[in-house]
Each structure stands twice: as structure tokens, then as C-alpha cells.
Amino acid sequence: MQLDDFKNIDFKNAGGLPYPVKGVLLLVMFLVLIAIGYWFVWQGAYDELSQARAHEVELKTAFIQGKEKAVKVAGYKVQMADIQKTFGALLRQLPDKTQMSGLLTDINKAGLINGLEFELFKPGDEVKTEFYAEKPIQIKVTGSYDNLGAFATEISRLSRIVTLNDLNVGLVNKDSKDSVLSLEAVAKTYRYLDKDEIQQALEAKKVAKP
């Protein structure tokens, strides 16, 4: 097969062409058909395939992320249950409005059973926050060092939360040989607000905002 064989091709008599020439012509036609098919048909399908593959990757990523979140949800539920349990335990340590008088009695009793004498026991006004109220009580008691220590221990053992703040301890009589001490402090107790009080506190906060 020579180049001259392709110069004078008579397509009307294609059946009589040499087999090598026929083979080359068929190959060229095949390549032309492939090019035409790619340009008009396959290129669009290829683009759609590429987009589908990209979308598949996005879906896989979203699935993996969703699966990770779903796995974490179980852990979050356990943490939430623990938080609610802890919050419930703390809440039970806060008296409600009707139990405050009994708590004040318990503080007074803690001093008396430990041999202390009360010179001052003055409950102050409540200070309310969004969810609880703080009740300050000014106290002044006298007694021995051991009695004061026992009183502080008794306060810490109360079923309700009570804190002693602004402690000031000194001798009752510096010129005396006895060791009677005076303790001045602000005992703070806390109670939780009921639903109506919480609602009032939230409304008051909204009104206070500029």
C-alpha cells in the first residue's frame, strides 16, 4: 500500500479497492463517527456523569457527617440526663418559699445546740436573680473556739445550702482571762423561685433593657 493508492480513490467503485486501502478508509470513518458521537452525544453525558459523581461525593460527605452527629446524640442524651440529675439534686438543696422559715430555725438551732449565745440574728431582704433568691442573715454569736468550730461544721451539714460570709472573729473581752470569742458573719441561704416568680423576673429583665 502506497500513498498514490489514496490519491485516486473512486468511491463509486469502492468495492474494488485494495483491502489495505479499504481498511484505512474504514478506520478513518470509524474515528470520524467516534468524534461526531463524542461531540454531539457523549460529551453531554460525560458532563452529566461528572456532575453526578461530584453530587455523590457531596452526599457521602453529608451522610458521614450526619452519621457522626447521630452517634454523638446518644452521648449528648446521657450527658443531658446526668446534668438534669445533678440539677435536680442541687435544686432539692434549695428550699422553696414555704420552707425558708424552717431553714432559719435550723440555723438558729445549730448555734444553740453548740452552746453559742446569739446577740444578733437579723434576716435581710431577699436578692432575686433569674432562678433563685438569696437571703442574707446577719448573725453575731459568742462562745468558745470549739463551739464556734462545731457551729460552722453543723451549718455545713445542713440538708440545705447555707454559706457563712464576711467572717469576723475576736475576743469578747480582751482584758479578761477567759477565751470567749465573738463571731460576726453574714449567713446566706438560697431558695428557688416558683414559676410565677421566674416569669416576673424575666419580664422585669425585659423591661429593664434599653
Alpha-carbon span 151 to 115, nearest angstrom: 9
Q: Mark whether 103 and 195 lie in a shared domain.
A: yes
Q: Mark whether 103 and 31 lie in a shared domain.
A: no
Q: Mark whether 105 and 23 lie in a shared domain.
A: no
pLDDT for the residue numbered 7: 52
Q: What is the tens place of the pLDDT at every residue in 115-143?
A: 899 999 998 888 887 777 888 999 999 99
Asked if residue 140 belongs to a domain, the reply is yes
SS3 138: strand
Asked if residue 86 belongs to a domain, the reply is no
Q: Mark whether 109 and 28 lie in a shared domain.
A: no
Using left for φ > 0, alpha for ψ between -120 and 50, and beta otherwise, residue 124 falls in: beta
- For the residues of 152-204, what is the DSSP string, one character each? HHHHHTSSS-EEEEEEEEEES-TTSSS--EEEEEEEEEEEE--HHHHHHHHHH
- Amino acid sitting at position 60: K
Asked if residue 87 belongs to a domain, the reply is no
Q: Mark whether 123 and 195 lie in a shared domain.
A: yes
pLDDT for the residue numbered 186: 93
| Residue among 101, 103, 109, 93 at smallest CA distance from 161 | 93
Q: Given pLDDT bands bounded at 50, 70 and 90, which one contains residue 193?
A: confident
CATH number of the domain at 108, please: 3.30.70.60
Does residue 169 or residue 202 have the better pLDDT?
A: 169
Asked if residue 109 belongs to a domain, the reply is yes
| Residue among 144, 134, 147, 150 at smallest CA distance from 186 | 134
Q: Mark whether 21 and 101 lie in a shared domain.
A: no
* Largest distance between two CA atoms of the chain: 143
pLDDT of residue 209 exceeding 90, the answer is no
Does pTM top 0.95 for this prediction?
Answer: no
Q: Mark whether 34 and 101 lie in a shared domain.
A: no
pLDDT for the residue numbered 21: 59
Asked if residue 70 belongs to a domain, the reply is no
Among 52-56, 119-123, 188-192, 202-206, the range scoring the smallest mean pLDDT is 202-206
Q: Mark whether 34 and 118 lie in a shared domain.
A: no
As a whole number, the mean pLDDT across the chain is 76
Number of domains making up the chain: 2
Q: Mark whether 14 and 103 lie in a shared domain.
A: no
Asked if residue 101 belongs to a domain, the reply is yes
pLDDT of residue 183 exceeding 80, the answer is yes
pLDDT of residue 3 exceeding 60, the answer is no
Query: 28 is in which domain, residue-wise?
Result: 4-38
Q: What is the tens place of the pLDDT at every residue in 20-67?
A: 656 666 677 767 777 776 666 666 666 777 787 888 888 888 888 877
SS3 15: helix
Asked if residue 77 belongs to a domain, the reply is no
* Residue 167 near residue 186 (C-beta atoms within 8 A): no
pLDDT for the residue numbered 140: 93
- Amino acid sitting at position 96: D
pLDDT for the residue numbered 197: 75
Above pLDDT 70, what percent of the chain?
Answer: 69
Alpha-carbon span 133 to 124, nearest angstrom: 12
Look-up of cell digits 468558745: 144
Alpha-carbon span 191 to 96, nearest angstrom: 5
pLDDT for the residue numbered 173: 78
Asked if residue 50 belongs to a domain, the reply is no
